[in-house]
Amino acid sequence: MRLANLDGRAVIVVDGHAVDVERASAGRLSSDPMVLSDLAHHDALRAVAAVADPSAWPALDESKLGAPVPRPPKGYGVGLNYKQHAIESGRELPTEPHLFAKTENCVCGPFDEIVIPQGLTEIDYETELVIVFGRTCKGATRENAWSFLAGVTCGQDISDRGEQFRPPLKQFTIAKSYDTFGPTGPYLVTADELADPDALSLTGVVSGEVMQEANTNDLIFDVPALVVWLSRYITFQPGDLVWTGTPGGVGEARGRFLRDGDVVETTIEGIGTMRNPVVER
């Protein structure tokens, strides 16, 4: 399924049309987009999609799409999870995942503005696959890891490098959790829609210039490994998000930070493309 938040309402995308979940289910399912990230509702959502006549529903207007999981209970990012990025950062390859938090307030939609607070000059882009938990998860195994996920979406882990590396300590969480620093979307896509959910090409473009190109099969810790490692000590719930890491080509390595007027495009195979304008405010 391709699931979306259309102007604040949960929809299923069928043949380019937006099937409103609440209306198509005669009120049995909520209009709240958070219903989409709960696997407890996915059988009902599939049933709605199976009988929906796309022509009876409006064509999808992508400009009205919001974050597919607008209120994640918690969010994490994974640092240095592509070999290229670790090398360009001058750091050794990790032997275990390294995490930081991304708080709910940073989440915004696939076409929303990325807002740079006035005067900051080291704001970076990071193209990432985001996984979405769909049921309670603790102690996952590699064999069942994907069964805990509602699906995947595109993401950007926007980062204030000046704050992130401000001495004497590093400030990863705050530097990556400013308002609008977590664009996600355009869709929440279930794993069965993807030819190989562990091998998705991703591309990051800034103002027409390709900055990042990779495939998720290059992850140091792939999606199942992350789910296993994360759920050792932390219980995950429907709607929890994990940004899985960014490949090489970030602005910090290139000396090319975001500035007012830029447009950040994020494309992942089988999911879609986000286009986020950058404004300084």
- Look at residues 135, 110, 123 and name the one whose alpha carbon lies nearest to residue 277: 110
Residue 251 belongs to what H/E stretch? helix 251-254
| 200 and 103 share one domain | yes
Rounded Cα–Cα distance for residues 232 and 22 (Å): 36
Residue 112 has pLDDT above 90, yes or no: yes
| 53 and 187 share one domain | no
Out of 13, 36, 66, pick the residue that ends a domain.
66
Query: If you average pLDDT over every residue of the chain, what do you get?
Result: 97
Structure-model confidence comparison of residues 66 and 86, the more confident one: 66
Q: Which of 21-25, 36-40, 86-90, 248-252 has the lowest mean pLDDT?
A: 86-90
| 54 and 156 share one domain | no
Position 91 scores a pLDDT of 80
Mean pLDDT of 98-116: 98
Residue 229 belongs to what H/E stretch? helix 223-230
Position 87 scores a pLDDT of 86
| 61 and 99 share one domain | no
What CATH number is associated with residue 208? Answer: 3.90.850.10
Whether the CB-CB separation of 211 and 230 falls below 8 Å is answered with no
118-161, pLDDT tens digit by residue?
A: 999 999 999 999 999 999 999 999 999 999 999 999 999 999 99
Residue 275: other Cβ atoms inside 10 A: 17
Whether the CB-CB separation of 252 and 115 falls below 8 Å is answered with no
Out of 16, 32, 66, pick the residue that ends a domain.
66
173-185, pLDDT tens digit by residue?
A: 999 999 999 999 9
| 57 and 147 share one domain | no
Rounded Cα–Cα distance for residues 50 and 25 (Å): 12
Residue 83 has pLDDT above 90, yes or no: no
What distance lies between CA 12 and its chain's CA centroid? 18
Residue 26's domain comprises 2-66
Signed CA dihedral, 54, 57, 60, 64: sign only: negative
Position 90 scores a pLDDT of 84
Which value, to the nearest 10 degrees, does the dihedral of the CA atoms of residues 64, 69, 71, 75 take? -130
Position 84 scores a pLDDT of 83
Out of 47, 66, 85, pick the residue that ends a domain.
66
Count of domains forming the chain: 2
| 152 and 276 share one domain | yes
- Tokens describing residue 123: 């704001």
Per-position DSSP letters for 70-128, written without gaps between them:
SS-S-EEEEES-BHHHHHHTT-PPPSS-EEEE--GGGEE-TTSPEEEPTT---EE--EE
pLDDT band at 92 (very low <50, low <70, confident <90, very high): confident
Position 157 scores a pLDDT of 98
230 three-state secondary structure: helix
Please give the model's pTM, rounded to 2 decimal places.
0.97
Q: How many residues in the chain?
A: 281
| 228 and 99 share one domain | yes
| 161 and 246 share one domain | yes
| 61 and 81 share one domain | no
Q: Name the one residue in this structure whose structure tokens are 């059988």.
A: 43
Rounded Cα–Cα distance for residues 173 and 159 (Å): 9
| 152 and 225 share one domain | yes
Position 126 scores a pLDDT of 98
Rounded Cα–Cα distance for residues 35 and 188 (Å): 12
Whether the CB-CB separation of 25 and 48 falls below 8 Å is answered with yes
211-238, pLDDT tens digit by residue?
A: 999 999 999 999 999 999 999 999 999 9
Position 89 scores a pLDDT of 82
| 217 and 115 share one domain | yes
| 148 and 237 share one domain | yes
Structure-model confidence comparison of residues 85 and 146, the more confident one: 146
Residue 151 is which amino acid?
G
